[in-house]
């Protein structure tokens, strides 16, 4: 019924964007993300729906503490619905016998290139693939392996 491919949405004027900001936000269908995650040998997937009350009008009239409590209740009761603007998919990476216990103790050692599964080497805030040379960013503690960055 709906396309599962990522769609680009201009964020100009969207909630959370600066008035002068002109950029593109990529929206991903949860099934598309699930396919990508499964292709990376991540298992025991759990899907959670978040942001039941991401409505600017409500945020303006209902105190934050009440919205937070309502959000927790709705997540527990309706987290399975996947009808919210935010969906989180968590899982566990399959054990790789080629990774030693010492090096596997950091998440960086477990990350692989989404394109070729080569090892990612950290330089500053950029992860570069040893095999295919694609680079990915880690910004404010969040890994973004969705799209390679253009290196200068």
Binding residues for Zn ion, per CB under 5 A?
113, 115-116, 118, 129, 131-132
Q: How far is the CB of 16 from Zn ion (least distance, A)?
A: 32
Give the containing element (helix H, strand E) for 126. Answer: strand 126-129
Q: How far is the CB of 127 from Zn ion (least distance, A)?
A: 10
Give the containing element (helix H, strand E) for 64. Answer: helix 64-78
Burial tier of 60 (Cβ tally within 10 Å: 0-12, 13-18, 19+): exposed
Residue pair 123/129 in contact (Cβ under 8 Å)? The answer is no
Q: How far is the CB of 130 from Zn ion (least distance, A)?
A: 7
| Closer Cβ to Zn ion, 59 or 131, answer by number | 131
| Closer Cβ to Zn ion, 87 or 113, answer by number | 113
Rounded to an integer, what distance in angstroms lies between the CA atom of residue 52 and that of residue 59?
Answer: 12
Q: Report DSSP state, residue 119.
A: B
Q: How far is the CB of 112 from Zn ion (least distance, A)?
A: 8
| Closer Cβ to Zn ion, 47 or 126, answer by number | 126
| Closer Cβ to Zn ion, 52 or 127, answer by number | 127
């Amino acid at each position: 019924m709906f396309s599962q491919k990522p769609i680009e949405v201009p964020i100009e004027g969207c909630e959370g964007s600066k008035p002068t900001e002109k950029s593109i936000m990529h929206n991903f269908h949860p099934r598309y993300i699930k396919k990508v995650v499964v292709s990376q040998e991540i298992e025991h997937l759990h899907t959670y729906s978040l942001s039941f009350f991401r409505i600017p009008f409500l945020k303006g009239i209902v105190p934050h503490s009440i919205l937070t409590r309502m959000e927790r209740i709705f997540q527990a009761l309706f987290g399975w619905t996947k009808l919210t603007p935010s969906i989180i998919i968590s899982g566990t990476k399959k054990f790789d016998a080629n990774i030693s216990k010492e090096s596997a103790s950091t998440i960086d050692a477990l990350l692989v290139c989404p394109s070729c599964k080569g090892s990612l080497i950290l330089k500053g805030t950029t992860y570069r693939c040893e095999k295919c040379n694609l680079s990915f960013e880690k910004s404010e503690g969040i890994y973004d392996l969705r799209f390679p960055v253009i290196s200068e």
